[in-house]
Amino acid sequence: MIIRNRRGQSALWSYSISGDLPIVLLQIQDIANLELARQMVQAHAFWRLKGLMVDLVIWNEDYGGYRQALQMELLSLISPGIISDVKDKPGGIFIRSGEQVSQEDRILFQAVSRIILSDTFGTLEEQIKRRSKVKPVIPYFTPTKFYASQESALEQPKNLVFFNGIGGFSPDGSSYHITISAENPTPAPWCNVIANPTFGTVISESGQSYSWMEMPTSTG
């Protein structure tokens, strides 16, 4: 409906509605459902009592012979004692005949209204309980380290020299072995660099690694 709307706030002015306050739109076409309008008028009075200013717009959608009867019933819902305070005033109640609202203005009202109710959708309780499917919210990504366990694939070396619980030297002193798991990582990030002027490689304790090589410049 918002996409279809081509009119601005000023188009509301001809209905004595400024558009500066939230709009609740009620569409009613059957006098038998007058209770829905009565409940919304009561809700509007409660909102005013709590300091919440809302324009309640009621459309009389009865196009049959009972249109005038429904109009009189709707007007009677507004207490004569406060009619000067709420009828057609900012933060008040606006009762309009649906046939006097153009299609463009219908789209405008439906686009700007915060709440739209209709007696064709059931009682107020049924419409309040109606829920549209909410798109699931993807939880915020929190990066964590993952240590793939290699215990099943690689046998842990034995007889390590100066073993500290995480790593130690091989008995011949030619290599240093580190054994980690998800439950027992290194105390701090660790990496090993092997490099010369033209080639190098880096491997970290988490298994991430990369290599580089400088290509010789051709001459000729």
**97 neighbors 75 (Cβ within 8 angstroms):** no
pLDDT over 50 at 34, yes or no: yes
**162 neighbors 195 (Cβ within 8 angstroms):** no
At position 110, the amino acid (one-letter code) is Q
Q: Are strands 55-60 and 23-28 parallel, antiparallel or unpaired?
A: parallel
Structure tokens at 212: 């580089």
Domains of the chain by residue range: 9-128, 147-214
Facing residues of 210 across strands?
Answer: 202
Q: Residue written as tokens 């829920």? A: 131
pTM > 0.85: no
DSSP letter for each residue of 95-148: EEEGGGS-HHHHHHHHHH-SEEEEGGG--HHHHHH--PPPPPPPPPP-------
pLDDT at residue 1, as a whole number? 63
Please determine, looking at this structure, whether the domain spanning 9-128 carries the CATH number 3.40.50.2000: yes
pLDDT at residue 153, as a whole number? 45
Binning pLDDT at 50, 70 and 90, where does residue 151 land? very low
Count the neighbouring beta carbons within 10 Å of the beta carbon of residue 93: 27
Compute the average pLDDT of residues 164-183.
83
pLDDT at residue 201, as a whole number? 93
pLDDT over 80 at 152, yes or no: no
